[in-house]
């Protein structure tokens, strides 16, 4: 049985619907702590004199790109902005309270450096017909996130594949 998508959702397909600005500047201390957690000794994240041969200066670990637009868990002056707001919006409108990431694709175009200010926008690329999975009934959807630096240069792009469902 097919359930029609609400117009509120179909009108989002292919259009930018949410934007995130950078709550913090890119910080060497954060990326080096991350590298420490995964025991990554690549000198372009750690050693200025080695990094300069390749990237002019130290660069952030590429895996952290999406994290630079994540808000603080707590802030003294405002409520937290959820990451991937479009995903949470879809869950709410479709009454699918649970969601998991099923696949991630990310392309890296420009190295991220200390002091960069990253922003992003989110676009719904596709949404499936209703599905029944082991987890429950729901739909799959794909959200494209494009990341920019402070010069408005696209630094990377990510496609997140989700399953939204209820038991």
Partner 1 sequence: MNSKIVLPISKFVTSVKNIQAGAIYSRDWAPLHSDQDWAINKGNLPNIIMNNYTLNGLVIKYVTDLYGDATRIGKVSFKIKKPICPNETLEFHGSVISEDKVSDELSFLNITLDIKISDQIVSSAKIIAGVNLTEKKINSPWKIDSKKWKSYIDEVTTDKS
Please list every residue from 82 through 101 that binds partner 1, using CB under 8 A: 101
Q: Closer to partner 1 at the Cβ: 70 or 166?
A: 70
Report the site for partner 1 in 99-158 (rule: CB under 8 A): 101-111, 153-155
Report yes or no: 23 and 69 within 8 Å, Cβ to Cβ: yes
Output the smallest distance, CB 19 to partner 1, in A: 18
- Residue 79 C-beta: closest distance to partner 1, Å: 14
Residues 84 and 20: their CA atoms lie apart, in Å, by 9
9/30 with CB nearer partner 1? 30
Q: Which of residues 21-60 bind partner 1 (CB under 8 A)?
A: 30-31, 33-40, 42-44, 50, 53-55
**Which parts of the chain are beta strand (E)?**
16-20, 98-108, 119-127, 131-132, 137-148, 154-166
Binding residues for partner 1, rule CB under 8 A, total: 40
Q: In which element (H, E) is residue 111 found?
A: none
In terms of CB distance, is 13 or 106 closer to partner 1? 106
The Cα 24–Cα 117 span in angstroms is 7
Ranges of beta strands (E only) in 27-153 are: 98-108, 119-127, 131-132, 137-148
Give the helix/strand (H/E) hosting 93.
Answer: helix 85-93
| Residue 16 binding partner 1, by CB under 8 A | no
- Minimal distance, residue 92 CB to partner 1, in Å: 17
CB closer to partner 1 out of 21 and 42: 42
Query: Does 63 interact with partner 1 (rule: CB under 8 A)?
Result: yes
What is the binding site for partner 1 (CB under 8 A)? 30-31, 33-40, 42-44, 50, 53-55, 61-64, 66-68, 70, 73, 101-111, 153-155
């Amino acid at each position: 049985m097919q359930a029609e998508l609400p117009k509120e959702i179909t009108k989002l397909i292919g259009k930018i619907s949410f934007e995130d600005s950078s709550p913090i500047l890119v910080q060497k201390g954060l990326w080096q702590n991350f590298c420490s957690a995964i025991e990554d000794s690549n000198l372009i994240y750690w050693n200025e004199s080695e990094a300069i041969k390749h990237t002019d200066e130290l660069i952030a670990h590429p895996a952290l790109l999406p994290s630079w637009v994540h808000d603080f868990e707590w802030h003294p002056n405002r409520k937290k902005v959820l990451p991937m707001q479009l995903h949470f919006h879809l869950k709410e409108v479709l009454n699918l309270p649970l969601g998991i990431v099923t696949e991630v694709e990310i392309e890296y175009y420009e190295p991220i450096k200390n002091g960069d200010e990253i922003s992003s926008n989110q676009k719904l690329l596709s949404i499936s017909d209703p599905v029944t999975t082991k987890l429950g009934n729901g739909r799959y959807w794909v959200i494209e996130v494009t990341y920019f630096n402070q010069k408005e240069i696209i630094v990377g792009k990510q496609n997140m594949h989700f399953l939204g469902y209820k038991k």
